[in-house]
Amino acid sequence: MSISKEQIEQVAYLARIQISDAEKSALESKLSSILDMVDELQAADTDGITPMAHPLDATQRLRPDEVTEPNEREKFQKLAPEAENGLYLVPRVVE
């Protein structure tokens, strides 16, 4: 199965990855070859098989409802490219 330039553009936007026009053709052929390989799956007989999301047949453990995390804002915001007054800053979001 091949992937078109338009599909690449849409998927790239969903993933917020910028692709230059120059990269597009090379990417198109590489992605198509990956998808061709992946398409071998279609030949498998999977009738009645339950999808397996997880290797272990275990169930979710539940945590008691307790506050265990202290305020560590200063430590975390030291890592932030831009923060002010305790807030992370991003370009103005217009709603």
List residues near other proteins by CB under 8 A.
Answer: 3, 7-8, 10-19, 27, 30-31, 33-42, 44, 46, 49-56, 58-69, 71-73, 75-82, 84-93, 95
CB atoms under 10 Å from CB of 31, counted, come to 15
Closest Cα partner for 35 from 60, 67, 8, 72? 8
Least separation in angstroms between residue 78's CB and other proteins is: 8
Least separation in angstroms between residue 6's CB and other proteins is: 10
Contacts of residue 5, defined as CB under 8 A and 6 or more positions apart, other chains included, come to 24, 28
Least separation in angstroms between residue 66's CB and other proteins is: 6
